[in-house]
Amino acid sequence: MEHRLVQRANAVPNATAVVDGDASISYRELIARADILVEKLHGRSIKLAEPVCILLDSGYQQIVSQVAVLRAGGTCVPIDPSMPSSRLLAMLHDINSRFVITSRALADRVSDFGVIQVEEGTAQNITLSETSPIRIQAGCPETHRSHIFFTSGSTGLPKPIQVLARGILHVLASEPATLLDSSDRMAGVISPGFDFSLFGIWTSLLVGGTVIQIPKVIVTDPFALSDYLKNNKITVVIIPTALFNVIVLDAPIAFRGLRHVLVGGEAVNVKAMKKVLINGPPGNLWNVYGPTEATIFVTVCRVDLAETQHPRISIGRAFGESKIYLLDEQLRNITSTHQTGEICVAGPQLSSGYLNRPEENGKQFIHVNTATLGEEVGKYIRLYRTGDLAQWRDSSGMLDYIGRADKQVKCSGHRVELGDIERTLERNAQVESCVVIQHKQGDSEVLAAYVVPTIDQGS
């Protein structure tokens, strides 16, 4: 990834890489600011692939920090600052993080760690060389662990998922990423702790485009967002399904004129998709699917009005060298249409597994004899069991998503384990027990907790 970024930065050093409020950062300046943080990390003897927490909101400081960690040879661990402190600290200890890149305002939350203040790399006192070429620093291979993202776990503790650079690059080497170019302006709307953010950041940087960070207050206001996208000449947006549905409800023309709109994170609403296509269609509307364990997304479907005539919007087909299998409970391959099976993913986008979770790795990342899949005899293939259920729609390889096989649900684009929420609530001294369910409220899926309070024995 660093090789590609440096190549692009040398080709268009003065092109705008990131716009965030009043800040407009060129590719040369992006690298220069990142390299100040690289020096700080080297000064603290960062190790190869060492996890470095990035405790920052979305925006140019987040992007500068990710570039810095990769150029230092480390692993980016982006965590949303809204994370409760107790959970944040548990995550950092879980991955044995020594360093945290954060802002002055947030530094006290992680004072027990080696804090590097991002302002050191984003202050205005840098000198830019207009003639010296930008050089590769770490030069890590595609097998490098570039990122760690946390997802909910059945034990009540988040699981650290190790994402490899090759997985990100594989997504960027296929449609719709290959349809983007240096003229594109990518909307920044995704939380940095969500792997979808990788598409928004790295697709743009590696084609020489521009990331336009959208203020949170704008993102959650459908009419303001519609105006912002138009006024800032945004051409591409990747957006969680839940947010897409909310925007479309009030402003179905919000995405009119964009070149590409990618929607994913949970099952899409057919009515919402149809509403956009009728009232204000972008050039291309995509439904994308994939767990973090398979890096960003692993199937894509270009949605048109004909697709909205089906009961479900298809999640499409796998792309590139990635492959989808539907397996029954005995791990037998399902090839017939309209028979439900578990989605299992193979290929270069697979995570290297959960960090420090050998038991869960053994359950979720399995090796299957290819002969049982109707393929070549005598070989084994590594699969990730998603826990998602689907059916083959037809012989063309189109998949229809059915739902979760267990208690995990999708909420606002994030995978959430209901048991995780229950256990967290039950840690409260005032809660004796509880159960959390997901139910439909209008066109939205909401979570509800039913609590049995602790009885005060002294009353």
Pairing of strands 159-164, 145-151: antiparallel
Q: Considering only the C-alpha atoms of the chain, give the largest distance between any 2 of them, rounded to a whole number of Å.
A: 77
Q: Where are the domains of the chain?
A: 2-309
Nearest to 227, CA basis, from 218, 235, 237: 218
- pLDDT value, residue 438: 85
For the stretch 126-179, pLDDT in tens is 766 677 889 999 999 999 999 999 987 656 678 999 999 999 999 999 999 999
Structure confidence at residue 444 as a pLDDT band (50, 70, 90): confident
Mean pLDDT on 414-432 = 69
Q: What angle do CA 415, 419, 423 make, to 5 degrees?
A: 120
| CATH (one of 3.40.50.12780, 3.20.20.370, 1.10.10.10, 2.60.40.290) for 2-309 | 3.40.50.12780
pLDDT value, residue 155: 60
pLDDT in tens, 218-263: 998 999 999 999 999 999 999 999 899 889 988 999 999 999 999 9
Average pLDDT score over residue span 427-450: 78
Distance CA 27, CA 405 (A): 44
**Cα-flanking dihedrals φ and ψ of residue 2, to 5°?**
-65, -40
Q: Are 150 and 133 in contact (CB under 8 A)?
A: no
Question: Can you tell me the mean pLDDT for 358-378?
Answer: 90
Provide the residue count of the chain.
459
DSSP summary character for residue 1: -
> What separation in angstroms does the CA of 391 have from each of 255, 271, 340?
30, 21, 5
3-state SS string for 21-59: CCEEEEHHHHHHHHHHHHHHHHHCCCCCCCEEEEECCCC
Question: Across the strands, what pairs with 345?
Answer: 324, 384
Contact 5, 12 (CB under 8 A): no
Phi, psi for 419 (deg, rounded to 5): -65, -30
Q: 304, 4, 303, 283: which is closest to 171 by C-alpha?
A: 4
Q: Which helix (H) or strand (E) holds 93?
A: helix 85-94
Q: Residue 120, class by beta-carbon neighbours within 10 Å (0-12 exposed, 13-18 middle, 19+ buried)?
A: middle
Residue 419 has pLDDT above 80, yes or no: no
pLDDT of residue 34: 95
**Cis peptide preceding 133, ω within 30 of 0:** no
Residues 56-62: what's their mean pLDDT?
95
> What angle do helix axes 270-279 and 241-250 make, rounded to 10 degrees?
50
> C-alpha angle with apex 78: 74 to 79, nearest 5 degrees?
140
